[in-house]
Amino acid sequence: MADRSPAPDTPELRERWGAFEFNESYRARADKAIARYPEGRQRSAVMPLLDLAQRQVGEETNTQGWLPLPVIEYVADYLDMPVIRVLEVASFYFMYNMKPVGKYHVQVCGTTPCMLRGSDGLFETCKKRGMKKGHVSEDGLWTLTEVECMGNCATAPMVQINDDNYEDLTPERLDTILDALAKGEQPKAGTQEPGRHTSEPANALSSLEAMVDENHDYRSEWS
Amino acid sequence: MPKVTVDGQELEVPEGATVLQACELAGKEIPRFCYHERLSIAGNCRMCLVEVKPGPPKPQASCALPATEGQEIRTDSEMVKTAREGVMEFLLINHPLDCPICDQGGECDLQDQSVAYGRGATRYEENKRAVTEKYMGPLIKTVMTRCIHCTRCVRFSEEIAGVDEIGAVGRGEDMEITTYLEQAAEHELSANVIDLCPVGALTSRPYAFEARPWELKKTLSIDVSDAVGANIRLDSRGREVMRALPRVNDAVNEEWLSDKGRYMVDGLSKRRLDKVFMRKRGKLQPATWDEAFKAIAKAKPGKSIAAVAGDMVDCETMFAAKSLLKACGSKLIEGRQTGMDYDVSNLAAVNFNSTFEGLEHAGAILIVGSHIRWEAPLVNVRIRKAVKRGAKVYVVGPYWDTTYPAEFLGEDLGVLNKLPKDVAEAFKDAERSAVIVGGGALKGAHGKAMALASDWGADFNVLHFSAARMGGLMLGFAQKGGMADIVKAKPKVLISLGADEMDYEPFADTLKVYIGHHGDKGAHSADIILPAASYAEKDGTYVNTEGRVQFAEKAVFAPGDAREDWTILRALADALKVEVGFDNFAQLQSAMIAEVPALGEEGLADYGSLPKADAKAKAEGTMSAYPIKDFYLTNPIARASEVMQRCSSELLHGGQLAEAAE
């Protein structure tokens, strides 16, 4: 698992992010998130607010975004809650980046189903492009992270890049995607298997065949 | 009342009880780490697993499972035994085997429970996890590798102290307990997390590597750092008090203790007066007891002798001084050193009448001129509990950081004469309510506050912050005009019983005899210093601000030539050739109890009913500041304590940690 400790609290960090505040559009979205909860329970909105803050940081830095300590403090202040409680949330969930990331945060799943379906090859592909786990590549474009199961085992192996999942990957398909992203294009998200739409069986149905048209009780057939 | 069966024993448990509590009622010991009676239920250590029917066929965490009708609970089955062994084995996987160098050793829950419920040996062969130390201030030492993530400290700071400072960051194996950016835990109850920690992750920094629990002599005592009278245990080795720990007393301190009460004990062996001193040619020089007594006799005080009691003296000392003065024919005794002169004809009017426990049930609380967090941190805990139950709190006086929502009505005490409508309504609506007047506001607002309380039917409370105050008042240590009367009487001899907050300047022509234990302000102004015993070095009776009479025992002997105060006063009687009527402590005590019977009975003293409030009373004056300027340095022991000085400079004055140059 990656290091989840916050980026060090340096004067430079304070100088760069000390004055952070939501811009108009993010503020509107933040207030909308807060309004979903009853009066006095605004701190329930801490997760959407952290996400919004991360996105705004991303826009400002042209990356996926991350959460510097002053931004975490800003969110705590915005919700009138102790900053340690916000840090607890931010450091718990993997979707919050505690350290700066590149423009594209390539999260390769390395859990068993993906590994069996060839995620090692995906790591190789990434490595060949100069990515290193937990580091931002030199051109500032990529950050590679190995993550645990993302719930796409039926279309393994998979990679999550920023907000999109790319599934049924091979090293070549991943290469195409990364090339497209590097050029600033938006490749098609989801499965990359030709002819497949989502996570339906890749070829013909191989299991639960009796269930296609109607419900079927298999229990009597268990031995 | 659900009926459950615990190990075949049928019993009824109160509504809302958990399975763990049911087992305890049945007399079964349930091992636990995260569960604590006074904190919310977390259910994350899994040590309290029991077998419960009906329910899934697996062990269940008893601390978080409500007891319901007809449950069959087993705490002695094979399943429970294996489950406990399993949990313990997991807990120990990442726990270092450093008991020999761990300060918790000998009083460690994990140690005890692994002996009682664990396997003989571990099967784990991988690397253990290690966590870096976290800085949590001058009082708490951390060895975070030992942490088992019970989160008691997190829950304590959030729920009891009301200061969200400690949290658990990260997740899974990377979870770590820390304060935000490793800032010091800055509140007056921070060190209680040390007691709560079931392992050696949070230990006492000043006491680090000082002693093992089994080497210490434990003495039951009373905390004198404020007027709450927290029940404490003094742990001493040889002639030194090593540490003070809270005792459980639900009526007073529950099981908490303020940082000052806990950590000023190192001041007991610093700046001590251990010799007799006399002022010769303007300088204090060592002398003998004989010389000192002769000098006092030579002053021929006759009737012209006065006594002022300090903030930390016990009732026996005050009574001995009173008897001495009585024998001399003087009544000049006073304990309110700073010159307060409120009316003491009815002690109920200067007492904390709602009691600390009762305060929890108040629906509205008005605080007049009291910085409760500093004057009585443990009372603040009670108010916080009341607020959690829905109480509204209003404060008259300068702003201080309450640990609960409170409305500040301004510094002008005159606001009491014309309170905003919603305040009066809140009090009228509340079933029980309380008005608390701090020492600083007694002058301007005592009468008005009492009138308001009687108008609303609220409990009237005065919050003192001197441990000797209520005892002193019961013994009559109060002149009508306060200290001014003593000054006016121009006594030839002034006996100061550890009075360090009073102004000695008006007594320039008086022979000032200081009977006390620390070289503080009083000793500097004294002409004769007679070294006496501190609260740890004598038996004594103390009365807290709610009028609760409590008895403290002697833990250690006073250093050097210092004697217990009453023996000094007894010898002084001989020197002045008067009879005081007691020759030993038992006689002194029974004479005291004969005069004030309430002092002979532990528990709340009965002061009768409140005087009729003067409906026309007006509050006047402005509170621009509270009497306590520095929480950590309010008494001579604390001022002599290095730990308290360090807390004061680091936590209150933002000073940097002073590291010794090595």
pLDDT digits (tens, 9 = 90+) for B67-77: 999 999 999 99
Mean pLDDT of chain A: 93
The pTM for the full model equals 0.91
What DSSP designation does B18 have? B
- A33 Cα to chain B: minimum distance (Å): 24
B515, B619, B518: which is closest to B569 by C-alpha?
B515
B33, B51, B13, B127: which is closest to B87 by C-alpha?
B33
Q: What would the pLDDT profile of B149-191 be if each residue is shown by its tens digit?
A: 999 999 999 999 999 999 999 988 889 999 998 888 889 999 9
Q: What is the pLDDT along chain A (223 residues), one digit of tens a residue?
A: 467 889 999 999 999 999 999 999 999 999 999 999 999 899 999 999 999 999 999 999 999 999 999 999 999 999 999 999 999 999 999 999 999 999 999 999 999 999 999 999 999 999 999 999 989 999 999 999 999 999 999 999 999 999 999 999 999 999 999 999 999 999 999 999 998 888 888 778 888 888 888 899 988 888 7
- Buried-exposed string B269-300: b where 16+ CB fall within 10 A, e elsewhere: eebbbebbbbbeeeebeebebeebbebbeebe
What DSSP designation does B28 have? -
Phi, psi of B474 (to 5 degrees): -65, -30
CB contact under 8 A, A84 and B170: no
Instruction: Nearest chain B residue to A89 by CA: give it.
Output: B169
- Tell whether A8 lies on the interface with B, counting CB pairs under 8 A: no
Do the beta carbons of residue B36 and residue B45 sit within 8 Å? no
Closest partner residue to A92 (CB to CB) among B164, B171, B181 is: B171
- B27 Cα to chain A: minimum distance (Å): 38
Size of the A and B interface in Cβ pairs below 8 Å: 38
Reported as type and span, the H/E element at residue B12 is strand B9-12
CB contact under 8 A, B181 and A85: no
- Tell whether A37 lies on the interface with B, counting CB pairs under 8 A: no
CB contact under 8 A, B174 and A4: yes
Q: Can you read off the two tokens belonging to residue B191? A: 């060190």
Beta strands B493-497 and B511-516, pairing class: parallel
B31, B49, B33: which is closest to B41 by C-alpha?
B33
Closest partner residue to A87 (CB to CB) among B167, B173, B174 is: B167
Phi, psi of B169 (to 5 degrees): -100, 160
Q: Which residues 171-200 of B are in CB contact (within 8 Å) with A?
A: 171-174, 179-181
In the beta sheet, which residues pair with residue B168?
A: B177
Q: How far apart are CA B232 and CA B243, in angstroms?
A: 10
- Tell whether A88 lies on the interface with B, counting CB pairs under 8 A: yes
Contacts of A87 in chain B (CB under 8 A): 167, 169, 180
Q: What's the burial of B262, exposed, middle or buried (CB within 10 Å: 0-12/13-18/19+)?
A: buried
Q: Is the ipTM of this complex over 0.95?
A: no
Mean pLDDT of chain B: 94
Beta strands B166-169 and B176-179, pairing class: antiparallel
Contacts of B173 in chain A (CB under 8 A): 1
- Tell whether B170 lies on the interface with A, counting CB pairs under 8 A: yes
Cα of B500 vs its chain's centroid, Å? 20
Provide the Cα torsion B647, B650, B653, B654; round to 10°: -160
Cα of A96 vs its chain's centroid, Å? 8
- Buried-exposed string B575-612: b where 16+ CB fall within 10 A, e elsewhere: bbebebebeebeebbebbbeebebbeeeebbebeebee
Q: How far apart are CA B623 and CA B440, in angstroms?
A: 8
> What is the pLDDT confidence band of residue B399, given thresholds at 50, 70 and 90?
very high
What is the share, in percent, of chain B residues with pLDDT greater than 90?
Answer: 92
Provide the Cα torsion B648, B654, B659, B660; round to 10°: -50
pLDDT value of position B658: 52
Residues 6+ apart with CB under 8 A from B132: B144
- Tell whether A148 lies on the interface with B, counting CB pairs under 8 A: no
- A6 Cα to chain B: minimum distance (Å): 9
DSSP assignment string, B303-365: T-EEEEE-SS--HHHHHHHHHHHHHHT--EEE--TT------SSGGGGSBTT-HHHHTT-SEE
What is each CA distance from B331 to A11, B475, B573, in whole angstroms? 65, 12, 15
pLDDT value of position B616: 87
pLDDT value of position B248: 96
Closest partner residue to B164 (CB to CB) among A1, A4, A84 is: A84
SS3 content of chain B, % helix, strand, coil (to 5): 35, 20, 45
CB contact under 8 A, B168 and A5: no
- CA B642, B267, B183, B465 torsion-angle sign: negative
Contacts of B174 in chain A (CB under 8 A): 1, 4
Do the beta carbons of residue B647 and residue B470 sit within 8 Å? no
pLDDT value of position B656: 58
Residues 6+ apart with CB under 8 A from B224: B261, B311, B312, B467, B468, B535, B542, B635
Instruction: Indicate which of B169, B173, B174 best probes the interface with A, i.e. most A CBs within 10 Å of its own CB.
Output: B169
- Tell whether A134 lies on the interface with B, counting CB pairs under 8 A: no
> What is the pLDDT confidence band of residue B397, given thresholds at 50, 70 and 90?
very high
Q: Can you read off the two tokens belonging to residue A181? A: 């992203």
Q: How far apart are CA B80 and CA B46, in angstroms?
A: 12
CB contact under 8 A, A84 and B180: yes
Higher per-residue pLDDT: B653 or B367: B367
Q: What is the biggest distance separating any 2 CA atoms in chain B, rounded to whole angstroms?
A: 88
Average pLDDT over residues B372-379: 95
pLDDT value of position B662: 45
Q: Other CB atoms closer than 10 Å to residue B229's CB: what's the count?
A: 28
Cis peptide before B398 (omega within 30 of 0): no
B571, B649, B647: which is closest to B185 by C-alpha?
B647
B654, B648, B616: which is closest to B632 by C-alpha?
B648
What is each CA distance from B429 to B367, B424, B432, B456, in whole angstroms? 18, 9, 9, 9
Instruction: Nearest chain A residue to B171 by CA: give it.
Output: A92
CB contact under 8 A, A85 and B170: no
Q: What would the pLDDT profile of B245-283 be if each residue is shown by its tens digit?
A: 999 999 999 999 999 999 999 999 999 999 999 999 999
pLDDT value of position A211: 87
- Tell whether A86 lies on the interface with B, counting CB pairs under 8 A: no
- Tell whether B56 lies on the interface with A, counting CB pairs under 8 A: no
Q: Is B642 helix (H, G, I), strand (E, B) or coil?
A: helix
Average pLDDT over residues B454-458: 93
In the beta sheet, which residues pair with residue B243?
A: B235
User: Quick check: B661 pLDDT over 60?
Assistant: no
Q: How far apart are CA B449 and CA B499, in angstroms?
A: 29
What is the share, in percent, of chain B residues with pLDDT greater than 70?
Answer: 99
Residues 6+ apart with CB under 8 A from A213: none
Average pLDDT over residues B201-219: 95
- B71 Cα to chain A: minimum distance (Å): 33
Cα of B55 vs its chain's centroid, Å? 45
A144, A147, A126, A146: which is closest to A136 by C-alpha?
A144
CB contact under 8 A, B170 and A83: no
> What is the pLDDT confidence band of residue B236, given thresholds at 50, 70 and 90?
very high
Instruction: Indicate which of A43, A88, A147 best probes the interface with B, i.e. most B CBs within 10 Å of its own CB.
Output: A88
- B175 Cα to chain A: minimum distance (Å): 9
User: How many CA atoms within 13 Å lie on the side-chain side of B318?
Assistant: 34
CB contact under 8 A, A4 and B179: no
Q: How far apart are CA B461 and CA B528, in angstroms?
A: 39
Do the beta carbons of residue B630 and residue B646 sit within 8 Å? no
User: How many CA atoms within 13 Å lie on the side-chain side of B652?
Assistant: 14
User: Quick check: B657 pLDDT over 90?
Assistant: no
Do the beta carbons of residue B316 and residue B567 sit within 8 Å? no
